[in-house]
Amino acid sequence: MSQSAALPDRRLPDARPDNWVDRWAPLWLRPWLKLGRFDRPAGIWLLMLPGWQGVALADALLGHLPDLRLLGLIAVGATAMRAAGCAFNDIVDRKMDAKVARTANRPVASGRISVKAAWIYLVGLSLAALCVLLCMNLTAILLGVGSLALVAAYPFMKRITWWPQAWLGLTFNWGALLGYAAVRGKLDWPAAVLYASGIFWTLGYDTIYAVQDIEDDALAGVKSSARRLGRDVRAGVMAFYAITILLLGGLTKFAPQGWPLLFAAAAHLTWQASQVKRDDPEGALRLFKSNRDVGLLVFAALAVAGWRRLHP
């Protein structure tokens, strides 16, 4: 099923040198954990936090603190779906990944895990995520099922459009709608504003992430917003984040008590955009990872709004 015993397991370049997988996981398990990107948890945070924000926003409108049960379900579901999505991405992109220095040692591209084994892994994680989804209401379940089309199409976007990061924004922030619906059983304008802010946030941070691969992507024929923007990549990120900030400002209408933390998130995004350099891939990775803090600030702002309404 796997060729992991035949090939060396190397730390991937966008993983921390002290990541827990390379430090503590058994050798035989490392390729499987790396297939799901468990050595790089930033993606789990970035998929999970929009869902948490959706829950917090819906509960804030009701004058409640975020539902801890829903937050836990979303955390488990996001972890499983992110790993499944990474496996699907690696299956589809295995030939492209082999041509890019940063991705050439991924388990499927390098041959340490076979395509068949990766499919089994993907199906198992998807079933686990489905079990989590079935613990929610019907609207959330339907939204969760509807997200599969976005997930399935994403790996192909880099072949057909210069803006695959926009599609990732549609996909990664779907949890904002799902989390909101899991509380209220329906979707309203506040959920749409939160979702839209997340799309442009992702377009910005994933453009920063794509800076790492500009040269290799050009050689492999992979399209990205960073390549399309070229020398204007900083201006592009500034524009994406400016729209994000305007939409976050719109959230203050629904959660006015959280404005100081929303302001802090906006300041962080402004700082990020000012630091983007097309010729600094290591700096781009650091900036990308800092978006966990942005997502936590927005979540905290919405949670505070709920607490303040509960304790006027």
Helices (H) and strands (E) in the chain, counts: 16, 0
Which pLDDT band holds residue 10 (cuts at 50, 70, 90)? low
Comparing 12 with 215, the larger pLDDT belongs to: 215
* Pairwise CA distance, residues 12 & 106, whole Å: 7
- Say yes or no to pLDDT of 216 above 60: yes
The H or E element spanning position 234 is: helix 233-251
- Say yes or no to pLDDT of 303 above 60: yes
* Pairwise CA distance, residues 237 & 230, whole Å: 12
Q: Are 154 and 90 in contact (CB under 8 A)?
A: no
Mean pLDDT of the residues in the chain = 92
Q: Are 198 and 172 in contact (CB under 8 A)?
A: yes
Strand partners, 179: none
- Say yes or no to pLDDT of 297 above 90: yes
Residue 23 phi, psi dihedral angles, 5° rounding: -85, -40
Q: Which domains does the chain have, with CATH numbers?
A: 20-310 (1.10.357.140)
Tokens 């035989």 correspond to what residue? 28
pTM score of the predicted model: 0.92
The H or E element spanning position 222 is: none
pLDDT digits (tens, 9 = 90+) for 263-274: 999 999 999 999
pLDDT of residue 3: 43
pLDDT of residue 97: 87
pLDDT of residue 96: 86
Residue type for position 253:
K
- As a whole number, mean pLDDT of residues 120-124 equals 98
